[in-house]
Chains A and B, each alone.
Chain A
Amino acid sequence: MKRKGFRFYLRIYFKILAQDLKSKMSYRADFIISTVGMIFTNIAGFVSFWIMFRNFPSISGYSYHEMLFLYGFSLLSVTPTQCMLDNNWNLRQQVYSGDFIKYCFRPINLFFYYESEIFDAKGLGQLAFGIGTLVYAWAKLGLAVTPLAVLKLLVFLAGASFVMAALQTAAAASCFWIENSFYVLDLAFRFRDYAKYPITIFSPVFRFIFTYIIPIAFIAYYPGMMVLRPSEVSLLSWLSPLIGAVFFYLAYRFWMYGASKFNSTGS
């Protein structure tokens, strides 16, 4: 089979996206309520953050606004996963019921086709909230707004977003082997809440674990430091986009391997 180019996939993506949005619009009430729910989640996260810092001015050397910066960064970093890989949540049922077989017969990349089927528009609310938080923290910290800083932010944000995508994809793929893998996916989902804290609060053992084994420190801390404290970044911060890409590639191979093991339950 001839390999299809990037432009081909982009065109297909928007075609499928349009279909998905059409079907979402026929459940308008559900869409609005879900979006409000998403905004609720973000507000509650922010309120608990605020309450915590009312009582404690700093956490291991990081001020309120610096923590807010990392918080905004982590929100933006997980947004692509929320919006574009949301169909991973349905994978378990589709493998269980055998409906997954329909994806295997298309002459395009299986992973691409599966994930493109659903675009989670309520993640856009989170995107707006994340941008707001980040801009506010940026202004309050008095960080310089130079083209270089903005470029750095975009590049390292893009790299960081692969990490959550990798964790979620790998967790979802576990359903090819495990019955009732909901808890695995739920666990990966909860990691995003841990991502906003500086890795320095942990003891060395857990620093190692959260850097190399469950790489949540790459969701916000290491890449975020590039913009937040450019003078004291470590090599890991520089490497973070590469590490994100590698993790995502491995997770993708794992997912595809699982899919190749898929035996339909028949119907």
Chain B
Amino acid sequence: MKLRKYFALTRAGIIESLHFKLGMFVMVIGNLLYLILVYFLWRSIYASAGGGSVNGMTFTDTLIYLVLATALFNFMEMYTVWEIGRNIQSGKIVLDLLKPMSYRRYLFWSYSGGFVTQFFATFLPTFIAVTVLTHGAVPLGINLLWFALSVVLAVMINYSIDFIVGTICLFTESIWGINIMKQVIVLLLSGATIPLAFFPDSLRKIVDCLPFQSIYNAPLTILLQADPTPAEVLPTVAVQLLWAVGLTVVSSLFWKCSLRQITVNGG
């Protein structure tokens, strides 16, 4: 029954986000507009290039890749850096530290309700929309299972990176600047803005050595493969697993060392 305390937090998160229905609605509209832009932009890009495939990606592939990258972004964005930063500034962090659960876990599980609502409010509608729009070009087979596994690992990596960056806020007292830098680097180097297949080779080599490509590029590449054999997928997932474990350890240690630094103004 150890998990019960975690799911209690998940439930509270779901109820909290359902409270803001209108905000959800606007977000869905926003994503729809983005989808439209991406569709027309890349359609005209491919039309100018004379159609066909560029760097091994057809128009449909690119569309699915980019649209689902945005859906994944909305799904995974937990505003961790903001949350930690604000908790430090307001002093609320003191109360959170007293909770009978490590802060890293508490923060994750108190957001986890957002995963559930985001999945149904943005990811699933986008997934269905893109499947219909591309006339079923998304392969629906064993790759979906691998994709789900890959997304779980991606969430872990993303959270660890966020948590490391949030910890930096303990030292800098700057939230906006730190967060925007992180966001920009992650979105560009993970392939969420432009598929990594389009990157020049030298840049690609560097990006492959970094953890960011495991967040968006890895799950999306897996999704676009029809009926992959385990041998095709395992290397990607193994790299993800390595990063997930490595970054989890690093972020926990970094937080523990930094906690001595905390100064809270007032209470």
Q: Which residues in A have some Cβ–Cβ distance to B below 8 Å?
A: 27, 29-30, 32-38, 40-41, 44, 47-48, 51-52, 54-61, 178-184, 186-187, 190, 194, 197, 200-203, 206, 214
Q: Contact at A56–B30, with CB atoms within 8 Å?
A: no
Q: Dominant SS at the A interface?
A: helix
**In whole Å, how far is B4's beta carbon from the nearest beta carbon of chain A?**
29
Given contacts A41-B184, A59-B48, contact A27 B173 (CB under 8 A): yes
Taking a contact as CB atoms under 8 Å apart, the answer to whether B184 and A56 are in contact is no
Chain B residues with CB under 8 Å of A48's CB are 188, 193-194
With A29-B174, A33-B177 as contacts: A55 and B54 at CB distance below 8 Å? yes
Instruction: Using CB atoms, name the residue of chain B closest to A171.
Output: B26
Partner among B26, B37, B174, B193 whose Cβ is within 8 Å of the Cβ of A33? B174
Chain A residue nearest to B196 in the complex (CB): A51
**Dominant secondary structure of chain B at its interface with chain A:** helix
Number of residues in B with C-beta < 8 Å to the partner? 41
- Give the docked Cα–Cα distance between A61 and B44 (Å): 10
Contacts of A190 in B (CB 8 A): 30, 34
Alpha-carbon separation in the docked complex, A200 to B47 (Å): 13
- The chain B residues found within 8 Å of chain A, CB to CB, are 20, 22-24, 26-27, 29-30, 33-34, 36-37, 40-41, 43-45, 47-49, 54-55, 172-174, 176-181, 184-185, 187-188, 193-194, 198-200, 203
Closest to B176 in A: A34
Complex partner residue of B47 from A54, A60, A181, A194, CB under 8 angstroms: A60
Complex formed: what's the CA distance from A194 to B27 in Å? Answer: 16
Q: Could you list some 27 contacts between A and B, CB below 8 A? A: A29-B172, A29-B173, A30-B177, A34-B174, A34-B177, A37-B176, A41-B180, A44-B185, A48-B188, A48-B194, A51-B198, A52-B194, A54-B198, A54-B200, A58-B48, A59-B44, A60-B47, A179-B20, A181-B23, A183-B26, A184-B26, A187-B33, A190-B30, A197-B37, A201-B40, A201-B44, A203-B40
